Amino acid sequence: MSAKGFWSRFLLPGGIWLLLLFVIPICLVLALSFGYTDELGRAVYAFDLSNYADAFDPIYIPVLLRSIGYAVATAALCLVLGYPIAYYIARHGGKRKHVLIALLVIPFFVNYLVRTYAWVALLADEGLVNNALKDLGLTETGIQFVNTPYAVIGGLVYGYLVFMILPIYASLERMDGSLIEAGKDLFGTPSRVFMHVTLPQTKQGILAGCVLVFLPAVGDFVSAQLLGGPDTYMVGNLIQDQFFAASNWPFGSALTVVMMLFLSIWMLGYLRSAAREARDPVSAGGV
């Protein structure tokens, strides 16, 4: 068997999987986005641009901006929390690196919905956190955590933090240690060595982590639904309601297509940056 024939057969199952569960569903959503809902509430395939006109109605702009704001805040907090964790594991983990990585990943074997419900149990008015604060005498009535933007962003950070840690950790592992030693030999302080050597060399890991966190966070609906309220309504909730509450599948499909196009811009920006570094890794790394 030729190498070409071997790889064709090897890739066939994955290709069929992508075709059935990715390409065909996206094509159906795209086709349905041009349809309309008849008098009986049934989705009808047609060619009508009114759904896309409605998607850009000013009433939905605050929802989009809120979703972007939450996603940006989530990515920023994940970076602030995730970089020190990744740095510690890569530089000081020693023989425990694999154990520490496993401890980070194992909680994510649990379904995201279940983990979010755990946050509800922690942050509810009669949850563990408020009961502990009352027992300590720090508050009498408790603090409202749920139904606030802070709870939603906290849930998003917990849900996607590992997607920031792993790319940064991989960048730190690939980094040439001699560059750090050279910086120290040139009497660079630890902070200067980090800012001028380590940080630029992990730029692609940071960018990859931000993309991996931002993309799912901006379309998330679980955290906003369980930890938030009417004031934390996100695009994911809007799309979910169009499909399951309003039964307006064509409009929900149009919103989905608009979101996919919006997120594709972010993804293309990352791919261009990664391709530029692949062509010239030294200048892209800032050294």
pLDDT(80) > 90: yes
pLDDT(283) > 80: no
d(CA 72, CA 217): 9
Superfamily of domain 59-285: MetI-like (1.10.3720.10)
Domain boundaries, the chain: 59-285
In the chain, the percentage of residues whose pLDDT exceeds 70 is 93
For the stretch 38-60, pLDDT in tens is 888 888 999 989 999 999 999 99
Q: What tokens does 197 get? A: 């050597």
Bridge partners (DSSP) of residue 287 are none
Instruction: Give which of 245, 238, 175 is closest to 206, Cα–Cα.
Output: 175
For the stretch 149-172, pLDDT in tens is 999 999 999 999 999 999 999 999
**More confident of the two residues 192 and 86:** 86
- Average pLDDT of 221-231? 92
For the stretch 83-140, pLDDT in tens is 999 999 998 888 899 999 999 999 888 889 999 999 999 999 888 898 998 888 888 8
d(CA 197, CA 54): 49
Q: What is the pTM of this model?
A: 0.87
pLDDT of residue 267: 85
Q: Which residues of 202-214 are buried (b: 16+ CB within 10 A; e: fewer)?
A: bebbbbbbbbbbb
For the stretch 232-268, pLDDT in tens is 999 999 999 999 999 899 999 999 999 999 889 888 8
- Residue 43's Cβ-count burial label (10 Å; 0-12, 13-18, 19+) is middle
Neighbours of 269 (CB within 10 A): 12
